[in-house]
Amino acid sequence: MTATLVFGAQWGDEGKGKIIDLLAAEADLIVRFSGGNNAGHTVVVGDKKYALHLIPSGILREGAVNYLGGGVVIDLWHLRQEIQGLRDLGVTVTPGENLFLSQCAHLILPYHREEDRIREELRGSGKIGTTGRGIGPAYQDRASRSGLRMGDLLDPVYLGERLSAVMLEKNRFLRGFGHAGMDPADLLAELLEIAEELRPAICDTGGIVRRALKDEKSRVLFEGAQGLLLDVDLGTYPYVTSTSVATGGLGGGAAVPPQSIQRVLGVAKSYTTRVGEGPFPTELDDQVGEHLREKGREFGTTTGRPRRCGWFDLVAMSYTVEVCGAQELALTKLDVLSGSKSIQVATHYELDGRTYEEFPAGLPGLDRVQVRYEELPGWEEELSDIRKFEDLPSKAQDYIQYLESKLPVRLSLIAVGPDRDQIIRRPS
Ligand code: GDP
Ligand code: IMO
Ligand code: MG
């Protein structure tokens, strides 16, 4: 058996979808274990562009079976739409055959979306800039034991009782903010209708994945969503999502022993981006940042918001690869750096007379740090047709080798365009 974990090593949108699609060609099971449809992964195959939010990016590979583990939150309205969207593009999605959903996964319900919106409004200038998908409120209900789960859909009587009980409090909250409230009976009817097609898919995904991990021939790929710097414990709290996004969330979220993972691969952009609010030390609030956003088409897959752009940050990257135990990195969007006269890389931060070479997660002044950079020469040549490391311009090779010399990981994959084929493999 081989088991690989792929995680985002920055603030999300690193190009995980593309890398997972690539690795899924050699996987039998693809397992997502955290987050919900706050994620947005674009995978480009020839003239087709797929936007995945909840369904694992392995769905595009025939023969691979995809699982949403118990750590995922599922919005059934969204899932129905995502399945339909994929089918319209000719992708086979058959619940119970190539898509399975954990009975432990919590449901995102319409009142969670409303709650997300209201809470963001209440935060005012301190807003997080959430995706508005109800993610935080759904996980909040999971922790406070007011959540409803996929398995509940298999017992309509129980589901109806739980929904009525939970919605007493939910409606009180909503009405307090001028909302008319929601009817549990209507919600139950809608849930059961949508769940009809999904019934064969609802099962103990953890058991299936654990059996696969015991089977010598199985190849399992764990798909991380978001990025480590958005992790609820390890990221830039409170400007984070509500889950443990990488190794920390894997055990509970997929119901597997974390030590089954042999290969941990982080995905990182050749520069850095962030959507939503929160500290971002290497952010470029100038024409260079604007250039990266335009050339890199840095607009969110989920919300369409412009992404904030900045230079590659070795302080943050050393932290994320270390905390996740990564051995490898896939570096994406190297093509976007073509045409930059010089490239800056953050090597350390300074704040109030102190130097930080390790990422000071949790430091209240993270938004005030002075960033110290090393400058590297850029290159002019476009890279999108290059498939071999040796064919890259020497300055691009130097950039990769420089990052490798500063990080305890191998840069084993280099992406030079959005298409599935635009990849440089660097075998060990
Ligand atoms: P994810 O959430 O980590 O899967 O990343 P997103 O899909 O949200 O954002 C990455 C964007 O960059 C997508 O539009 C990809 O199609 C695109 N992309 C991925 N790799 C590359 C690359 O090497 N070069 C370019 N130009 N685009 C890329
Ligand atoms: P992928 O998987 C980038 C960000 C939001 C916001 C914060 C909290 O595509 O990399 P939430 O809706 O989760 O409560 O929002 O987290 N965020 C992401 N940013 N990529 C993502 O996923 C994200 N998922 C959440 O923008 O700042
Ligand atoms: Mg994304």
**CATH for 145:** 1.10.300.10
pLDDT above 70 covers a percentage of the chain that reads 100
Q: State pTM to two decimals.
A: 0.97
Q: What pLDDT was estimated at residue 88?
A: 97
Whole-number Cα distances in Å, 141 to 109, 170, 403: 11, 10, 41
Task: Give yes or no: residues 185 and 205 share one domain.
Answer: no
Task: Give yes or no: residues 69 and 143 share one domain.
Answer: no
Are 415 and 425 within 8 A, CB to CB? Answer: no
Whether residue 360 is predicted with pLDDT greater than 90 in this model: the reply is: yes
Choose one of 210, 231, 263: the last residue of a domain.
Answer: 263
Whether residue 304 is predicted with pLDDT greater than 90 in this model: the reply is: no
Whether residue 300 is predicted with pLDDT greater than 90 in this model: the reply is: no
Whether residue 186 is predicted with pLDDT greater than 80 in this model: the reply is: yes
Task: Give yes or no: residues 355 and 282 share one domain.
Answer: yes
133 in ligand 2 pocket by Cβ < 6 Å?
yes
Q: How many domains does the chain have?
A: 3
Q: Looking up tokens 């290969």, which residue turns up? A: 263
Task: Give yes or no: residues 365 and 252 share one domain.
Answer: no
Task: Give yes or no: residues 115 and 101 share one domain.
Answer: no
CA of 262 to the centre of ligand 1 (A): 25
CA of 39 to the centre of ligand 1 (A): 13
42 in ligand 1 pocket by Cβ < 6 Å?
yes
Residue from 38, 414, 58, 49 nearest 219 by CA:
58
Task: Give yes or no: residues 254 and 331 share one domain.
Answer: no
Average pLDDT, integer, range 206-228: 97
Average pLDDT, integer, range 101-111: 98
pLDDT tens profile 307-346: 999 999 999 999 999 999 999 999 999 999 999 999 999 9
pLDDT classification of 302: cutoffs 50, 70, 90: confident
- Strand duo 99-102 + 328-332: pairing: unpaired
270 in ligand 1 pocket by Cβ < 6 Å?
no
Task: Give yes or no: residues 250 and 301 share one domain.
Answer: no
Average pLDDT, integer, range 373-384: 98
* Residue 319's CATH number: 3.90.170.10
pLDDT tens profile 122-135: 999 999 999 999 99
Residue 421 designated active-site: no
Cα Rg of the chain (Å, integer): 22
Site to substitute for ligand 2 among 241, 244, 274, most atoms within 8 A of C-beta: 241
CA of 279 to the centre of ligand 2 (A): 14
Choose one of 161, 177, 195: the last residue of a domain.
Answer: 195
Q: Identify the nearest ligand to the CA of 18 by its number.
A: 1
Q: Which two tokens stand for residue 164?
A: 């009525």
Task: Give yes or no: residues 42 and 65 share one domain.
Answer: yes
Task: Give yes or no: residues 258 and 341 share one domain.
Answer: no
- Domain of 130, in residue numbers: 110-195
Choose one of 142, 162, 195: the last residue of a domain.
Answer: 195
Task: Give yes or no: residues 101 and 116 share one domain.
Answer: no
pLDDT classification of 428: cutoffs 50, 70, 90: confident
Whole-number Cα distances in Å, 80 to 61, 99, 194, 196, 397: 20, 13, 7, 11, 44
Site to substitute for ligand 1 among 6, 42, 416, most atoms within 8 A of C-beta: 42
Task: Give yes or no: residues 283 and 141 share one domain.
Answer: no
* Residue 34's CATH number: 3.40.440.10
Task: Give yes or no: residues 277 and 247 share one domain.
Answer: no
- Per residue, what are the HEC states of the chain? CEEEEEEECCCCCCCHHHHHHHHHCCCCEEEECCECCCCCEEEEECCEEEEECCCCHHHHCCCCEEEECCCEEECHHHHHHHHHHHHHCCCCCCECCCEEEECCCEECCHHHHHHHHHHHHHHHHHCCCCCCCCHHHHHHHHHCCCCCEHHHHHCHHHHHHHHHHHHHHHHHHHHHCCCCCCCHHHHHHHHHHHHHHHHHHEECHHHHHHHHHHCCCCEEEEECCCCHHHCCCCCCCCCCCCCCCCHHHHHHHHCCCHHHCCEEEEEEECCEEECCCCCCCCECCCHHHHHHHHHCCCECCCCCCECEEECEEHHHHHHHHHHHCCCEEEEECHHHHCCCCEEEEEEEEEECCEEECCCCCCCHHHHHCEEEEEEEECCCCCCCCCCCHHHCCHHHHHHHHHHHHHCCCEEEEEECCCECCCEEECCC
Residue 41 designated active-site: yes
Q: What pLDDT was estimated at residue 185?
A: 97
